[in-house]
Amino acid sequence: MQTTEKSNLIKALKEGTVVVTFEKIDTKEIRVMPCTLNPDLLIENNVKIKINNLSADSDHFVAWALDKQAWRSFRLSTVISWEKK
């Protein structure tokens, strides 16, 4: 994933809900994860911690998984696709 697309993903996560499809590293299973970094959605989910320092230079992203109600991470190198919802 190129830096521009990484930046677009970060922006989309901060604006609302994004569905990220990626391959899990440990099991090679395909995971479809609705997630967010949007402050309003985090508050709605009683999340007190906000992630502000994501960098498009990193391969490792952390986001709030709406389906699991927990922080989850994924590597951008394993992302198959993503879309805003």
The series of mean pLDDT values per 10 residues for the chain, 85 residues long, is 86 96 96 95 86 74 95 93 96
Q: Which pLDDT value is given to residue 66? A: 97
Number of domain units in the chain: 1
CA distance 54 to 63: 10
Domain of 53, in residue numbers:
3-84
Which contiguous run of DSSP H or E holds residue 70? strand 70-75
Cα–Cα distance measured from residue 18 to residue 36, given in angstroms and rounded to the nearest whole number:
6
Strand partners, 79: 22
pLDDT of residue 50: 66
CATH number at residue 41: 2.30.30
Which distant-in-sequence residues (6+ apart) come within 8 Å of 21 by Cβ? 30, 31, 32, 33, 79, 80, 81, 82
Q: What was the pLDDT predicted at 52?
A: 65
